[in-house]
Amino acid sequence: MTAPSFSYPVLRMKPKANARAIRRGFPWVFSNELVLDRRAKALAPGSIAILEDAEHTPLALVGVNPASKIAARVLDRDTNATIDRDWLEARLAKALSLRQRLYDAPFYRLVHAEADGLPGLILDRFGDTVVVQPNAFWADTLIEEIADALMAVTGVANVLKNAGGRGRHLEGLDDLDVTLRGEAPDAPMTVEMNGARYMADLTGGQKTGLFFDQRPNQAFAQRLAQGARVLDVFSHVGGFALAALAGGARSALAVDGSAPALALARNGAEAMGAAERFDTREGDAFETLQALGQEAGRFDLVICDPPAFAPAKPALDAGLRAYERVARLSAPLVEEGGYLVLCSCSHAADLSSFQGACLRGIGRAGRRAQLIHTGGAGPDHPLLPQLAESGYLKALFFRL
């Protein structure tokens, strides 16, 4: 790239900061690693700056938020680049090329933040509509350019901003959802995955409306579901339950605390012609698991896919206890020789810690387990090897 026609401000790392990690691909610079003098603190959140090491050697272009713990996010190692619409289109085109190779239909995570070179930016595609979660200040500042670049690269008609992400709160951003381009759908959208039909509420549902990340794990569970009685706890819009029905399950019970989510799950089952094999139960997941245990409920396949119990390190111990409790309450519901699937989307709980919590819970329920499969997110949620947090999803498949 040619040098930009203007100069970006400079942020400098402290002498003892780990500049080597940035050179090796780590995408974040924490506030305690930077010289945050009066000039640096005066930079507007969302500004673009040149990051230098303590010896004044340029390292990268970064998106800046002096008020955040993650004070700088690496956008480009080329400090002569210009972060503009052309730059955004190039990054989006690269992300799109991967998804088009992977999937026949345009329903996928189009951009997975740092792993696609767009830190803090989430884009989920639903046909001709893209839902944007700009969870970093630089992305929120450039949201109009992102919307224009999206339409140019993908040809979609509608771009919606979803401001419900936890990261936005940490960045000091607003929580206002906006229709950026086109129109918001006035009804839930039908999304087909693994032979199942899901109803995605793009404006009123959780996150962007549907969780694409569990697609390969739902496909594996589907292989275990033939002729099975299935229990799907923390079901949302029927993620595992509807996949199981598409795989020939005898019956599926979806449990969730959200009545609107369960209504969408029922609509999905009806659209599949599987309504007579599908049932729902609204209520707190832990209380429902206890109640099913008291009712001597038994299933051939039980799946528990809870929200993040340990979204950050301070919550890790409590989160692991919660995962252990899920395992302890769900294991007794599995028939001898049946299957238990336990999932975690917690950034702070690594695979080893999560597996240990699950095994403790299974053991305290008096069951023994074989671990037959370990799954992660689908390839539309690529992993940035230098950032463990980008590989957040874990799914453990046990035979009890």
CATH fold of 85-181:
Transcription Regulator spoIIAA (3.30.750)
Percentages (nearest 5) of helix, strand, coil residues in the chain: 35, 25, 40
Residue 394 confidence (pLDDT): 97
Cα–Cα distance measured from residue 387 to residue 142, given in angstroms and rounded to the nearest whole number: 24
**10-76 and 189-399: same fold?**
no
pLDDT tens for residues 118-128? 999 999 999 99
Question: Which residue numbers are catalytic?
Answer: 345
Cα–Cα distance measured from residue 150 to residue 148, given in angstroms and rounded to the nearest whole number: 5
pLDDT tens for residues 362-398? 999 999 999 999 999 999 999 999 998 888 999 999 9
Residue 1 confidence (pLDDT): 43
Q: Do the strands 334-344 and 394-399 form a parallel or antiparallel pair, or are they unpaired?
A: antiparallel
For residue 184, give both structure tokens: 């918001």
Within 10 angstroms of residue 127's Cβ, the number of other Cβ atoms is: 15
Task: For residue 85, give the 3-state DSSP assignment.
Answer: helix
C-alpha triplet 387, 392, 394: angle, nearest 5°: 135
Residue 133 confidence (pLDDT): 96
Residue 389 confidence (pLDDT): 82
Closest by alpha carbon to 393, among 182, 155, 115, 130? 115
Cα–Cα distance measured from residue 304 to residue 326, given in angstroms and rounded to the nearest whole number: 8
Q: Which CATH superfamily is domain 10-76 in?
A: PUA domain (2.30.130.10)
Ranges under pLDDT 50 in the chain: 1-5
Residue 7 confidence (pLDDT): 86
The tokens 């109009």 sit on which residue? Answer: 144
pTM: 0.93
Cα–Cα distance measured from residue 48 to residue 9, given in angstroms and rounded to the nearest whole number: 7
Task: Return the domain boundaries, the chain.
Answer: 10-76, 85-181, 189-399
What's the count of helices (H) and strands (E) in the chain, helices before strands?
A: 12, 19
CATH class for the domain made up of 189-399? alpha beta
pLDDT tens for residues 69-103? 999 999 999 999 999 999 999 999 999 999 999 99
- The number of angstroms, rounded, from the C-alpha of 235 to the middle of its chain's C-alpha atoms is 16
Task: For residue 158, give the 3-state DSSP assignment.
Answer: strand
Cα–Cα distance measured from residue 152 to residue 169, given in angstroms and rounded to the nearest whole number: 30
